Structure 1
Amino acid sequence: MPVDYEINAHKYWNDFYKIHENGFFKDRHWLFTEFPELAPSQNQNPVKSGMPESRSSEGGPGSAAEQHERSWNSFGHETQLPPVQESVAQQLSRLDIGADEFPGCSATYRILEVGCGVGNTVFPILQTNNDPGLFVYCCDFSSTAVELVQTHPEYDPSRCFAFIHDLCDETQSYPVPGGTLDVIILIFVLSAIVPDKMQKAISRLSRLLRPGGMMLLRDYGRYDMAQLRFKKGQCLSGNFYVRGDGTRVYFFTQDELDTLFTTAGLEKVQNLVDRRLQVNRGKQLTMYRVWIQCKYRRPLLSSTS
């Protein structure tokens, strides 16, 4: 059965986004509190215009979107979408990009989100950060999710490039050269892949960062409430579980993540646990949500190869 979950992972995630496309969930406006690297300037406060400032507010972690944390947005309309099957190379050829060019090649600040879902991180960044030199790349394992990003009314190809990508497939290329990204974002995505494939995935991503570039992660911590709620038959291996819809999730320790990042040649800037008490007064039940948040930097003296 575990083999089936791996072979059919595309199907499970596509089904997930088809079912929940029009769910009423909030965008991640807590991003700019936790990760000021995504804002226009670290000397400004981008959390404005009615955006909740607290990361424990309705739109942040621990909200009603907890089911997978990779929350999605209601677009306010029904969408009839053909399946996207184009490779990155096919998309680039269709954009008439020269051999020595790539999307956002003239940008001065480049952000990549891996596991973008339907854009709940990407669109707040584009809405908040008006830096003309900004370019955002975003990819997801699910073709359905990428379609939803590309057809969103605020998707702007001059500022953003969305593409399908399997984080674990070493034969798939990214649309940017090595050493060119300022920030890579991983929010509740690393936990969705098989544990023994995590190191190679992080090492490949680290080579895309410029010297001084940052990798930002927020993901599930060990003994999170969601882990404790799994039934006995749902554990595939140590701390790795399958949900009822076939998608999978791993629960990390700080040391595990530190090993993944440092083995990839990155240096620690932040590695912390965020524990939040959840109280269900009706059932007289108290449990903790546990997340781990990390920031790791590519050393300034690192090679860009």
Structure 2
Amino acid sequence: MSSATEEKKRASSSRDVNTPANAPFGGRLLLDESAVFEQNAWDHATWGEEQEQHARDQIERQSKDPVPEELKETYHTEAADYWNKFYAKNENKFFKDRHWLRIEFPELFQMIEKDAGEKNVMEIGCGAGNTMFPLLIESKNPKLFVYACDFSSTAVDVVKSNAEYDPNRGKAFVWDLAGDDIPPEVEPESMDVLVLIFVISALHPDKWEQAMNNLYKLLKPGGLIVFRDYGRYDMAQLRFKKNRLLSDNFYVRGDGTRVYFFDSNEIVKLFGSKFTIEQNAVDRRLIVNRLRKVKMYRVWLQGKFRKPLAGQEPGAPAATTVETTGDAREGQEAGEDAEVAMVDTVLSLETPLDSPATSGTATPAETLS
């Protein structure tokens, strides 16, 4: 009898990182290595020392051939231009609505209940509006208003061109999360939920502190940030070739967009100074291509951070760091098909950095998630 389990998960599989690995959480568990190619993806993927050493060796190799100094400043000062080119080329073709949000972040969907009352949600780094539109389409709350902003003016144009865009129910605008202040379109302390999905990783580390200040100003006391981003030693990080490293764990893709790969301790330091950490999670997944016999390890971080009420202190309460290793998507079949397609995509991402504007050599955000 195979150790593979074909049951489709309908719930998040989160656990405290101190919980034993054999705890009863998760769905697609690889108990027999010989069964690895019987499914497209496996949860709770663990690494041995050999894999850890391989990852360290890859990072060391990258550090010997970083981005030339004369090009680094260009990637930082022209970051918006590179994202505009990305969205002009791809519009909304790369992205799919995030149906998994309901499972991973049920607090977000409390905003759309019929009797929820006046609620404001803001999708920061909205791209094509992949959170905004599912919320508005499903909402039964006539008093829900969804804001969507992006660093890229082209992305905002994509959102506004969507047939579901309704200025009476939402507003899209250009805003730099790391800018000097919150956007004029939004009142201070007016947001109930802020959505940050593959956003902080696109910022220069020097800009993180200002980004946290702006997030704090936007949220109501008691308001929530939901977060997902790239984790340290993710496959996408280890596959970068020479002339891609900008600084420690910070890279430029072939299309000129930037990406940082976090570890959980950095997330605690980043958010813990201002917010209460309700979740600090790691999603480790082994994705396989059964035809090519290729194995790839993905690592993402996920979190929930709440602005303290008056008189409360920020930080991490006891037992809030968890490991989430489920696919956590409704319609698991479609999710697994996307994972297999992703493997084929990543295998082609090794074009040299001949030009900072080279397109299609690496894929941001959700094309690989």
Q: TM-score range, shorter-chain basis?
A: 0.7 to 0.9
Q: Distance in 2 between matches of 1:167 and 1:152?
A: 23
Q: Does 1:227 align with 2:237?
A: yes
TM-score, normalised on structure 2?
0.62
The one-letter code matched in structure 1 to 2:108 is L
Match of residue 277 from structure 2: 268
Pairwise CA RMSD: 2.0
1:42 deviation in Å?
A: 9.3
Measure the CA separation in 1 of the matches of 2:95 and 2:207.
30
Higher mean alpha-carbon deviation, 115-124 vs 13-22, is at 13-22
**Residues 279, 134 of structure 1: CA spacing in aligned structure 2 closer, same or farther, 3 A cutoff?**
same
Q: Which amino acid aligns with 1:277?
A: L
Cα pair 2:252 2:259 within 8 Å, conserved: yes
Indicate the residue corresponding to 2:367 in structure 1.
none
Structure 2: 5+ residue stretches without partners = 1-70, 313-369
The alpha-carbon distance between structure 1 residues 20 and 133, as it changes in their structure 2 partners (threshold 3 A), is: same
Q: 1:43 to 1:195 in 2, by over 3 A?
A: same
Secondary structure in structure 2 of the residue aligned to 1:232: coil
Aligned-pair CA distance for 1:290: 0.5
Counterpart of 1:32 in structure 2 is 102
Structure 1 length-normalised TM:
0.74
Partners of 1:29 and 1:3 in 2: how far apart?
37
Q: What does residue 297 of structure 1 align with?
A: 306
1:255–1:41 CA distance, 2 compared to 1 (3 A): same
Partner amino acid for 1:12?
Answer: Y
Secondary structure of 1:233's counterpart equals: coil
Q: Percent identity?
A: 53
Matched, 1:144 2:162: no
User: What amino acid is the match of 2:229?
Assistant: D
Tell me the residue number matched to 2:289. Answer: 280
Q: What is the rounded CA distance, in whole Å, between the counterparts of 2:218 and 2:231 in structure 1?
A: 26
User: Cα distance, 1:232 vs. partner?
Assistant: 2.6
Matched, 1:16 2:26: no
- Where 1:166 maps in the other structure, the secondary structure is coil
Aligned length: 240
C-alpha contact 1:40 1:128 (8 A) present in aligned 2:
no
CA positional deviation for 1:204: 1.4
State the Cα deviation string for residues 122-170 of structure 1 (Å, max 9, x = none).
1001111221111111100111110111121100111101100111221
How much has 1:19 moved relative to structure 2? 0.7
8 Å contact kept, 2:191–2:223: yes
Deviations along 1:146-202, one digit per CA (max 9) or x if unpaired, are 011112110011110110011122156342222211001100011001011112111
Report the CA distance shift for 1:41/1:136 in structure 2 as closer, same or farther (over 3 A): closer
Aligned residue runs from structure 1 range 1-305, under 5 A:
1-21=71-91, 23=93, 25-40=95-110, 108-171=118-181, 173-263=183-273, 265-301=274-310
